[in-house]
Structure 1
């Protein structure tokens, strides 16, 4: 981008100032210097085409929480893509839910007022397939990292719906203890 192109972007009421042509020149010099480094950022547009080793390096660079080189490629990409949002929004429900959904896509965070609980409490609800112990452990670790410090988890409910009309399988996970309820 040259000086004239930058100058043309200025609003008409500012173009009357002579010193702005100097500013436009300085900006054009900086843009031309930065343009070569901008091409390297295209790596984020085509992550699905990157080698696993490159993804592992990006995850290290972005300090992605609980990233593992053993994860499937799709999970790696999802965690890398979400990492910046997670770091700038830690302590919010949005960051917590986004971080957890990178591990368990069908997880939902319910705040205390949505289910009639006590203030500053929340629950995690998963509908669908049962989780592995590793997934459950990772969920608890992510909760500790991304939740607001004054908020507390008061329930982790895992519900699996059977295809028959009468059977539901519910599991309530209580920090290393799973209680299964069979209704039907």
Structure 2
């Protein structure tokens, strides 16, 4: 193993290096973990000392978050980003408002902290004050701190409304159509015969089971009667529609007959009045055939006028 000491170092330091090399050459150095997120909790204070980060009042989880950003925090020291990173190690949501964002006094700022799981007790408030004073720049002055306690609710409420209409297209109905109501009377009989084996089964069964079976049987009977009633209502509705259609056809037939009668009346031959004055003036001079024939001719001429 090569020496890491410069060539001009003293013999004493080289002797110490030799002792350390012999003590560590049989050790497995691969198991040493100095990553803040995975290192054992006993090494966290040494990491904090190495990174020059104070984790005195922080718990293990908060210390690991703060140490994991140590290099970036030293690189950007004094900026609002570093202050927000330090506060995010302890609090879930952090918002920093500088003075020009809310028209405040120059070189002042405000901090808003939101936490849904922690309470703002004395330890939390002291830690908040320490982190702000430690990681803000020297020029800026804290004007106000806004504390917000939020509550996350995972329940969801939803509602659905479904609406619709059922339209039935019926035949044309006249206002003067007569309506005949037909009534139907139905009766049902439920007969149950109990035999001796059934009584023996009832004795063995629990009363609750018997009542359940009885309820099921009555429910089936009720469903049958409801279905029968619905079928009778449909038949009644069809009969009413047929009756209305028959009344409508009868009315149309009556109208056709009335029109036909009016047409017959218009073709009726009116009896004309005959003027009998000229007929009375026809006088038969004698009873000979020529006289009678001449008289009939005059008669027809008068009738033909």
Q: Which TM class, normalised by the smaller chain length?
A: 0.5 to 0.7
**Aligned partners of 1:56 and 1:69 also within 8 Å:** no
- Which structure has the greater CA radius of gyration? 2
Q: Which of 102, 107, 118 is the matching residue for 1:115?
A: 102
Q: Bigger relative contact order, structure 1 or 2, given CA contacts below 8 A and separation 6+?
A: 1
Q: The residue matched to 1:103 in structure 2 has which SS?
A: coil
Give the structure 2 partner of residue 101 of structure 1: 88
Distance in structure 1 (CA, Å) of the matches to 2:75 and 2:67:
14
Per-residue CA deviations over 1:8-57 (Å, capped at 9, x if unaligned) read xxxxxxxxxxxxxxxxxxxxxxxxxxxxxxx87x8355x44422102222
Quote how far apart the aligned CAs of 1:105 are.
2.6
Total equivalences in the alignment: 122
Contact between 2:34 and 2:47, CA under 8 Å: does it hold in 1? no
Answer 1 or 2: which has greater strand percent: 1
Query: What is the RMSD of the two structures over their aligned residues, measured on CA atoms?
Result: 2.7
The answer to whether structure 1 residue 126 and structure 2 residue 113 are counterparts is: yes
Which whole-Å CA distance do the structure 2 matches of 1:100 and 1:57 have between them?
22
Counterparts of residues 1-184 of structure 1 (less than 5 Å)? 43-45=33-35, 47-65=36-54, 67-68=55-56, 71-72=59-60, 74-129=61-116, 130-161=119-150
Q: Say if 1:92 and 1:53 are closer, same or farther in 2 by CA, change over 3 A.
A: same
Cα contact 1:106–1:128 (8 A) shared by 2: yes
Cα distance change of structure 1 residues 77 and 150 upon mapping to structure 2, 3 Å threshold: same
Go from structure 1 to structure 2 and tell me whether the alpha carbon gap of 1:84 and 1:163 turns closer, same or farther (over 3 Å shift). Answer: closer
Gaps of 5+ in 1: 1-38, 165-184
- Is contact 2:94-2:112 (8 Å) kept? yes
